[in-house]
Amino acid sequence: MEKTAGKKKEVPGRRLVDLVLSWSIKDVRNEDLYKNQVRQIPLKFSTTTEYMNSFTYPLIEETHADLLSSISTLHLAPSCEILSFKQTKDFKPPKDIFYLVTLKSVSGLQKNGGYEPMIGDIIALTNVRPKFKDLDRPNRPFLVAFVQRVKDDNILTILASKPILAEERENKKRETLYAICLINMTTNIRIWRALNSQLEGKNLDIIGKVLQPNSAVRNHSLL
């Protein structure tokens, strides 16, 4: 398959995105997938690392719950037709499965009540307008992607969970593929990056002071 050139752009919140793309349809349907990993957030923290880590699994569980909810009503989700796709120069399986995707024109999508993907979306890629059970068929395994970039409203750079396998029909025309809207991860990615950032200087000092026992009493005594 032809590869297209372009400057590589890092995927924000890559570890969280990779985790979401790694979930099988069985994982998504499992309401208790992270039940034993989410613990009650304590009232006191001994370190900034403990503070940050205490919110990580609740965020993952919330992302999982959002995805489960959207897939449960998948037959109602808006979609858009994919006209073409090709690997980018950064296509390096098994992790960096990047494609440049061209959609039908935005005007056409709007007229048909379709969906225009946005940066941060998780979309399902399928050759049918699926119901819940259609997302993981023997000849069409569960395939989702993260929308990394949008150009000119209808050209996307996506990171897929698996290589796209589009069959050609007898007349040599590729089967029609659709992008189905699932969730948008922009807000969750921002939170994830904040929780996993390397804090330095005054920011780290402020958090450290807030986490100290009786910090409120100490601050009050200075007023």
Residue with tokens 């009050």: 220
When mean pLDDT is compared over 98-112, 119-133, 146-160, the highest value belongs to 146-160
Higher pLDDT, 111 or 32: 32
User: Which pLDDT value is given to residue 27?
Assistant: 94
DSSP at 47? S
pLDDT tens-digit map of 170-203 = 445 677 888 888 999 999 999 998 887 744 444 5
Is the confidence at residue 214, as pLDDT, over 50? Answer: yes
> What's the token pair of residue 172?
């040599």
Is the confidence at residue 93, as pLDDT, over 70? Answer: yes
Residue intervals in the chain for CATH 2.40.10.170 = 77-184
> What's the token pair of residue 123?
């979309």
Q: How many CB atoms are located within 10 Å of the residue 46 CB? A: 11
Rounded Cα distance, 6 and 18, in Å:
22
Residue with tokens 């990615």: 189
pLDDT tens-digit map of 18-70 = 999 999 989 999 999 988 887 777 777 777 777 777 888 899 999 999 999 99
Instruction: Match domain 77-184 to its CATH number in 1.10.3720.10, 3.50.50.60, 2.40.10.170, 2.30.110.10.
Output: 2.40.10.170
**Strand, helix or coil at 11?**
coil
Pick the closest to residue 7 from 96, 99, 88 (CA basis): 88
Alpha-carbon dihedral 44, 49, 51, 56, rounded to 10 degrees: -140
- pTM for the whole thing? 0.79
Confidence of residue 216 (pLDDT cuts 50, 70, 90): very low
> What's the token pair of residue 89?
């120069």
